[in-house]
Amino acid sequence: MKTSIVWSIFCGISLVVLSVGCSSVTSHEYTQGIIQSSRIFQRAEQASPSPASQTVVKVCCFSESRERYAGESHTLWLVYLPLFCTASSWERSNWLLWGSDKGGYKPAGLDMAEAIGNELDESGLFKQVYGPATEGQAEWLVEGDIRNLTLRTYPHLLGCSVFFAPLIGGIGLPLGQWNIEQQVHLRIVSSKTHQVAWEQTFTTQARGLIAAYYGRYPLQFGYPYDQAMRPVVNELIMQLKKVCSEAR
């Protein structure tokens, strides 16, 4: 009798933990663009007249010089050795294209360009902002290249604890750490002369804990936009305003 009660409690807890700890990022969000779906809409107030407010900008689809469809590398087998539970790692350079839905995910180059285009449009600083899919004449082009976008996880599991990971996470304990490394090269190009007015390579990182209810693990909560992209967008807007002012 006692055994059946204990088993029922164990099964009930496991069911609750698994349902709560599952990824909250759906295939629909990935298809729409995980970078865009993680961005908070921010409509700025109408800006005062300036050279930028008379300028039309177009954000082109970003290229991806990063190695795509690269094989994953990991040392997860170390979790079974008592002395190496914190030395295991899992490198996923294609974490935006994982599982059986790879074909349905929006390419990172298009996703990132559309997100930046929306940011420029919502800033209210420019007369018109065209995205990658919009045709139109623009004075300045924003071009980009994604050189790195890698997710690394460092699970802190030891021996048989691998099999009890859902229960460990269910009581609030972290299961490890995660880290995202991103490198994007941006440049502002004149559509008339094709000369580069400004260019810069941005290297950003985001990190946190792997946990069921906190830690912002990307495969659960989505792309860490504020840490990985917000600094890039802020600098781009500042440089665009400067370029527009100098051109007038």
In this structure, what token pair is assigned to residue 111?
């996703």
Does pLDDT of 16 surpass 60?
no
pLDDT of residue 176: 80
The mean per-residue pLDDT over the stretch 21-48 comes to: 58
**Span 204-233, pLDDT tens digits:** 999 998 887 778 888 778 889 999 999 999
Chain Cα centroid distance, residue 10: 36
Reported as type and span, the H/E element at residue 243 is helix 230-247
Pairwise CA distance, residues 142 & 116, whole Å? 9
Q: What is the mean pLDDT of the chain?
A: 76
pLDDT of residue 63: 93
pLDDT band at 6 (very low <50, low <70, confident <90, very high): very low
User: Is the CA virtual torsion 157, 177, 38, 172 positive or negative?
Assistant: positive
The mean per-residue pLDDT over the stretch 150-168 comes to: 66
pLDDT band at 140 (very low <50, low <70, confident <90, very high): very high
Domain boundaries, the chain: 2-247
pLDDT band at 162 (very low <50, low <70, confident <90, very high): low
Pairwise CA distance, residues 116 & 196, whole Å? 19
pLDDT band at 81 (very low <50, low <70, confident <90, very high): low
To the nearest whole percent, how much of the chain has pLDDT over 90?
Answer: 35
To the nearest whole percent, how much of the chain has pLDDT over 70?
Answer: 62
pLDDT of residue 91: 60
β-partners of residue 205 are: 181
Pairwise CA distance, residues 232 & 152, whole Å? 21
Does pLDDT of 146 surpass 90?
yes
**Span 91-135, pLDDT tens digits:** 655 656 544 455 556 788 888 999 999 999 999 999 999 999 888
